[in-house]
């Protein structure tokens, strides 16, 4: 039994509990029970100079005291004396890799009959502890692109349906975060099994968002959540919301971008863009992929799916050459797809405001700044000429 600031935590269970206060031991118990249920339990660790998502052994692996500083093209991690485990914003890794791995074999066929057999990876189901609200929003976007009719990707759906999400709401956003303006954070309201709020002093408000979340919560050492716990959560989230480093004015944005396809600002950003594809790789919603067939000397044919990027020359290659040969056309494709065409295709923005593409761009290109600059030079109603595709 642990003594909390508001009284003792115990395992005296109120049945049907949907919210409770847990301590570090509760968190450890949570990771333990996820593992006991057969989940490959992933979560944040301070590794290689950043918060990365790795397999957890116990709550002791969580990044206690670590805090991040993020800026365009720069990320630094430093340790503090704080006992808090979640005093950081998103790192480069996102939930995307868990539901949509960088490479996967789709099917194979073997000589001599070349019967096609579907390959469904039998990896254990994954649980992720420490997913951020923008990560949950990112999954909702991926769900629309990959996991819903008319074209549902079975491999995505399999992994997605199996995943258990323990979200942690944000109390210390980075300077690159803009979830408030994208309407995706810093609070978690849907799409989780459990959502935690780090109240400080080693205590967490835990809310269940699904049947399994409720079952997990009921098994943990805890005490009842009181009104003051919820008040503390509100206060922390309000503070986080007021500490957003950036914002994107979404008003009329899809139309504004389409009006500005020939804005000379694209030429300016093209001077910096490395077309390295780091932005698309770290983006929790970028889902473009290649399907390629490979033969081997024994006569086996495999179709493999790999992450692709609109930054690639080869990605727009059609008969006769690439449609987007210039750097400018590829950067513009990325921004206009995310913030404009995505609405037409999926009824949502392709951006959830996580800021990853800003931090992890080696050239330090800030998409919020680019959009603001386009808006500043936009003459509403007047189209900047016809788009040149190259």
Partner 1 sequence: MSVAGQVGLAHPKPSLAVWKFASCDGCQVSLLDLEDQLLDLLGALDISYFLEVTRTVVDGPYDLAIVEGSVTTPADAERIKAVRAASHFLVTVGACATAGGIQALRNYADTGEYVPTVYANPAYISSLPTSTPVSAHVTVDFELHGCPINPVQLLEVITAYLAGRAPRIPDFPVCRECKAAGNVCLLVAEGVACLGPVTSAGCGALCPTVGRGCFGCFGPASTVNTASLSSRLAADGASQESLKRIFRGFTAGAPEFEKESSRHDPQP
How far, in Å, are 20, 100, 354, 387 from residue 281 at the CA level?
A: 37, 12, 13, 27
- Please, are residues 265 and 377 in contact by the beta-carbon 8 Å criterion? yes
Partner in contact with 354, chosen from partner 1, ligand SF4, none, beta carbon below 5 to 8 Å by kind: ligand SF4
Partner in contact with 186, chosen from partner 1, ligand SF4, none, beta carbon below 5 to 8 Å by kind: none
**Residue 334 in the binding site for partner 1 (CB under 8 A):** no
Burial of 2 (0-12, 13-18, 19+ CB in 10 A): middle
Residues 6 or more apart from 285 whose CB is under 8 A from it?
Answer: 96, 138, 141, 142, 145, 338, 350, 351, 352
With CB under 8 A as the contact rule, which of the stretches 129-137, 260-268, 309-317, 347-355 interacts with partner 1? 309-317
**Residue 273 in the binding site for partner 1 (CB under 8 A):** yes
Partner in contact with 279, chosen from partner 1, ligand SF4, none, beta carbon below 5 to 8 Å by kind: ligand SF4
Which residue, 165, 178, 201, is CA-closest to 356? Answer: 178
Using CB under 6 A, which of 285, 289, 329, 340 touches ligand SF4? 285
**Residue 49 in the binding site for partner 1 (CB under 8 A):** yes
**Residue 131 in the binding site for partner 1 (CB under 8 A):** no
Task: Give the angle 371-374-380 at the CA atoms, nearest 5°.
Answer: 120
Using CB under 6 A, which of 22, 164, 194, 282 touches ligand SF4? 282
Strands of the chain (E only): list them.
2-4, 7-9, 19-22, 40-47, 50-55, 66-71, 74-79, 103-110, 115-118, 126-131, 164-168, 194-200, 203-208, 223-224, 289-295, 301-307, 317-318, 321-322
Residues from 358 through 387 that contact ligand SF4 (CB under 6 A): 361-363, 365, 367
With CB under 8 A as the contact rule, which of the stretches 36-44, 72-80, 150-158, 167-175 interacts with partner 1? 72-80
**Residue 146 in the binding site for ligand SF4 (CB under 6 A):** no
Distance CA(176)–CA(170), nearest Å, equals 13
Distance CA(279)–CA(179), nearest Å, equals 17
Using CB under 8 A, which of 272, 345, 377, 379 touches partner 1? 272
Distance CA(127)–CA(118), nearest Å, equals 25
Using CB under 8 A, which of 6, 364, 369, 375 touches partner 1? 364
Using CB under 8 A, which of 268, 292, 344, 388 touches partner 1? 292
Least distance to partner 1, CB of residue 96, Å: 11
Distance CA(45)–CA(53), nearest Å, equals 6
Least distance to partner 1, CB of residue 264, Å: 18
**Residue 285 in the binding site for partner 1 (CB under 8 A):** no
With CB under 6 A as the contact rule, which of the stretches 34-42, 167-175, 218-226, 273-281 interacts with ligand SF4? 273-281
**Residue 91 in the binding site for partner 1 (CB under 8 A):** yes
Which residue, 233, 356, 194, is CA-closest to 285? Answer: 356
**Token pair in block for residue 54:** 């790795």
Which positions lie near ligand SF4, rule CB under 6 A? 273-279, 282-285, 311, 331, 338, 351-357, 361-363, 365, 367
The residues binding partner 1 (CB under 8 A) are 47-50, 52, 73-77, 91-93, 97, 102-103, 271-278, 281-282, 292-298, 306-307, 309, 311-314, 327, 330, 359-360, 362-364
């Amino acid at each position: 039994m642990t003594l909390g600031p508001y009284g003792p935590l115990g395992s005296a269970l109120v049945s049907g509990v949907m919210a409770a206060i847990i301590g570090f031991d509760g968190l450890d118990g949570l990771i333990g029970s996820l593992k006991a249920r057969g989940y490959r339990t992933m979560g944040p660790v301070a590794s290689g100079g950043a918060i990365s998502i790795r397999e957890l052994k116990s709550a002791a692996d969580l990044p206690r005291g670590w805090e991040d500083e993020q800026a365009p093209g720069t990320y630094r991690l430093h340790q503090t004396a704080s006992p808090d485990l979640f005093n950081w914003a998103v790192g480069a890794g996102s939930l995307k890799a868990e539901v949509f791995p960088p490479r996967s074999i789709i099917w194979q066929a073997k000589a001599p009959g070349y019967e096609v057999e579907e390959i469904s990876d039998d990896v254990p189901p994954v649980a992720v502890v420490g997913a951020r609200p923008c990560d949950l929003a990112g999954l909702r976007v991926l769900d629309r692109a990959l996991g819903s009719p008319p074209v549902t990707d079975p491999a995505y759906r399999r992994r997605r349906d199996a995943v258990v999400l323990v979200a942690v709401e944000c109390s210390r956003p980075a300077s690159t975060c803009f979830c408030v303006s994208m309407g995706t954070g810093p609070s978690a309201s849907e799409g989780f099994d459990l959502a935690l709020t780090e109240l400080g002093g080693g205590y967490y408000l835990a809310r269940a968002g699904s049947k399994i979340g409720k079952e997990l919560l009921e098994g943990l050492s805890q005490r009842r959540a009181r009104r003051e716990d919820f008040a503390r959560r509100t206060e922390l989230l309000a503070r986080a919301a007021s500490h957003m480093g950036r914002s994107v004015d979404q008003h009329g944005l899809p139309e504004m971008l389409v009006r500005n396809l020939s804005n000379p600002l694209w030429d300016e950003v093209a001077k910096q863009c490395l077309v390295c594809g780091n932005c698309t790789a770290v983006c929790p919603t970028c889902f473009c992929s290649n399907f390629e067939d490979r033969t081997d000397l024994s006569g086996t044919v495999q179709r493999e799916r790999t992450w692709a990027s609109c930054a690639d020359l080869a990605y727009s290659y059609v008969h006769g050459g690439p449609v987007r040969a210039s750097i400018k056309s590829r950067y513009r494709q990325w921004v206009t797809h995310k913030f404009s065409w995505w609405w037409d295709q999926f009824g949502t923005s392709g951006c959830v405001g996580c800021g990853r593409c800003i931090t992890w761009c080696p050239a330090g290109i800030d998409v919020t700044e680019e959009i603001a600059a386009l808006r500043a030079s936009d003459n509403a109603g007047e189209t900047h000429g016809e788009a040149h595709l190259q």
